[in-house]
Chains A and B, each alone.
Chain A
Amino acid sequence: MTSKKLNMKEKYSLLTRDLEWEYSYRDYEEIFKQESFEGIKITDWSKWEDPFRLTMDSYWKYQAEKEKKLYAIFDAFAQNNGQQNVTDARYVNAIKLFLTGVSPLEYQAYNGFAHTGRQFGGVGARVACQMQALDELRHVQTQIHAMSHYNKHFDGFQDFPHMHDRVWYLSVPKSFFDDARSAGPFEFMVAIGFSFEYVLTNLLFVPFMSGAAYNGDMATVTFGFSAQSDEARHMTLGLEIIKFLLEQHPDNVPIVQRWINKWLWRGYRVLTLVAMMMDYMLPNKVMSWQESFEVYFEEAATSLFKDLARYGIEMPDYAADAIAEKEHLSHQAWSIFYNYGHAAAFHTWMPTDQEMDWLSEKYPNTFDKYYRPRYEKWREMEEAGERFYNPTLPMLCQTCQIPMGFTDMENPTMTSYRQSVYDGERYNFCSNGCKDIFDYEPEKYVQAWLPVHQIYQGNCGGAEMEDVLGEYYRINLGTDNLDFHGSPDEARWNAWHNLQPAEDKLKKAS
């Protein structure tokens, strides 16, 4: 008997889609309880186009190959003390922020895709989500393993899951993902699968990993690129879910448009941390935040939304607000962290002369005009032994939870400030996007666990900042935080490379 040849599509369909059956002992609605409450109308799951056709045997085979390569490099990195080969110890603070702020999001994605991987009524969509859940678990675990060696030689990595649940600036990424996971399964897919994975994730990973490569960080670049190799699958899933929802029913279009508006803004705000990493925390620069924003957001999103126009989907209004901020965002974010350098679990510093010149060149319209004078003042204070730390607690945006430090783009010296009143209480926002998100679902956003409010209410270990930072956050005061100059990280780095401490240089110079 000669076998008929099945092509990839037919074979995948038989091996996956055909496993489904029509339930008769139980109702469909009992098995998939969450499919209708968001108002999304699914008329026919069989119209789902599988975004990639990977059966489990191929999945195991290719993923094992990737893992084998990856762990060989981790072993070599640790054996050769690769941490000595990064450009400069300041760089390591970028990956501290990554492990405390981003890796736990991979974990949340693992939870979230497992949830949708059970809840969708279509087997094709379910299986695609399950594979992504498994990939996301891979990402958090490989990141922990990549950072494990850095943790043995630098401060600030050691308590990352504990910190992620508590520390003020980490509530920005945490609340973002909590928001997506607490939404219904379709909104989760638009939030994470489409808005984050398809539109924004390139801004997180690609420039950052190129940056790691350019700064001698073999461990990070390896996990980063290895994770990205799964990302292409995730992006395809994100685009498929959008097309599927839009094709299923015209009533889905306005719902999906609202979700896209919301989630692109919400995700973009989280990327504030990345903007600052790129412009300030990479000693060897690859490209500026503005440049990567133009390539990976403006250019890529324009192509994408042109493609989605046939469904009646438009570029979100807030895209213009994000574009208007591109010359300011990283500088304002770094200023916030420099101000609160005593309350963060990583080190901050003022850029060197050379770095300031690079920023002037990359940001000709804004850097010298608004930011250089401020930085020079702070540097003078530091040299006079009075490094500036802001002792007050900042007011946070009720939606994105970033301290209210962004300015009005029409008038970049004025803080941008919006308000809403709900149920007799006043709430503050950093932007139109954040205010609108709140106004549409106030009953959700009033629940936010705002770190500053929680401190005032006495829920974070006590009234004294030392109790909050030391006991509750478990930041080792004077070790994990404060300026890079004078830190134990710096001292160890200098010892490895027989360098003089910066203070000695300063003393000699004066």
Chain B
Amino acid sequence: MSKVYIALQDNEESHYIVEAIEEDNPDVTVIYQPAMIRIECEGHLVIKRETVEEKMGRDWEIPALHVNLITLGGNVDEDDDQISLTWNN
């Protein structure tokens, strides 16, 4: 299975997002690099709006992810409630 990945700028808001990702995707690997956080997972990874909102304690929309996003790998599927990355192999 190929790894999907996402990298975020290392900042306050991203920490909450990473926490949410870890909760919703128990198998992720989180790698801290200078100024950025890289998160990898075999096959599939999802970021759920609800979980991020709960971690942040406020409203948060999926497009706001882009403000802190550095790069990603995998097929993207995005709707109001979640954004996911998948490799079908």
Assess A/B contact in the complex (Cβ within 8 A): yes
Q: In whole angstroms, how far apart are the Cα atoms of A310 and B88 in the complex?
A: 10
Q: Would you call A86 an interface residue if the criterion is a C-beta within 8 Å of the partner chain's C-beta atoms? A: no
Interface string of B1-43 (1 = CB under 8 A from A): 0111101010000000000000000000000011110000000
Chain A residues positioned under 8 Å from B64 (CB to CB): 62
User: CB within 8 Å of B: which of A280-325?
Assistant: 286, 299-300, 302-304, 306-307, 309-310
Set A53, A229, A230, A231: member contacting B78, Cβ < 8 A = A53
Given contacts A206-B7, A225-B36, contact A8 B80 (CB under 8 A): yes
Chain B residues positioned under 8 Å from A34 (CB to CB): none
Chain B residues positioned under 8 Å from A58 (CB to CB): 63
Q: In whole angstroms, how far apart are the Cα atoms of A7 and B36 in the complex?
A: 32
B87/A306 in contact, CB under 8 A: yes
Interface string of A45-67 (1 = CB under 8 A from B): 00000011110001000100110
B72/A9 in contact, CB under 8 A: no
Chain A residues positioned under 8 Å from B63 (CB to CB): 54, 58, 62
User: CB within 8 Å of B: which of A135-179?
Assistant: none
Q: Would you call A235 an interface residue if the criterion is a C-beta within 8 Å of the partner chain's C-beta atoms? A: yes
Q: In whole angstroms, how far apart are the Cα atoms of A58 and B72 in the complex?
A: 21
Set A230, A233, A239: member contacting B75, Cβ < 8 A = A239
Q: Would you call A333 an interface residue if the criterion is a C-beta within 8 Å of the partner chain's C-beta atoms? A: no
Chain A residues positioned under 8 Å from B4 (CB to CB): 303
Interface string of B54-89 (1 = CB under 8 A from A): 000000000110111111111110111000000111
A306/B36 in contact, CB under 8 A: no
Chain B residues positioned under 8 Å from A54 (CB to CB): 63
Set B69, B73, B76: member contacting A51, Cβ < 8 A = B76
A interface majority secondary structure: helix
| Interface segment out of the listed A121-129, A207-215, A353-361, A366-374 | A207-215
Q: In whole angstroms, how far apart are the Cα atoms of A229 and B35 in the complex?
A: 14
A275 CB, min distance to chain B CBs, angstroms: 19
Q: Would you call A481 an interface residue if the criterion is a C-beta within 8 Å of the partner chain's C-beta atoms? A: no
Given contacts A62-B63, A213-B34, A225-B9, contact A236 B76 (CB under 8 A): yes
A225/B67 in contact, CB under 8 A: no
Chain A residues positioned under 8 Å from B2 (CB to CB): 302-303, 306-307
B37 CB, min distance to chain A CBs, angstroms: 11
B71/A66 in contact, CB under 8 A: no
Query: Which chain B residue has the least Cβ–Cβ distance from A303?
Result: B2
Query: Which chain B residue has the least Cβ–Cβ distance from A6?
Result: B80
B87/A7 in contact, CB under 8 A: no
B78/A214 in contact, CB under 8 A: no
Q: In whole angstroms, how far apart are the Cα atoms of A275 and B69 in the complex?
A: 24
Report 21 cross-chain contacts, Cβ distance below 8 Å, ordered by A residue: A52-B78, A65-B67, A205-B71, A213-B34, A225-B35, A228-B70, A229-B67, A229-B69, A231-B70, A231-B71, A232-B70, A232-B72, A235-B71, A236-B76, A302-B2, A303-B2, A306-B2, A306-B87, A307-B2, A309-B89, A310-B88
Q: Sorted from nearest, which 4 A-B pairs have the closest CB atoms?
A: A303-B2, A213-B35, A306-B89, A228-B70
Question: With A58-B63, A230-B66, A307-B2 given, can you name 15 additional A-B contacts, CB distance below 8 Å?
Answer: A7-B80, A8-B78, A8-B79, A51-B76, A52-B78, A53-B78, A54-B63, A206-B7, A221-B35, A232-B70, A236-B72, A286-B34, A303-B2, A303-B4, A304-B73
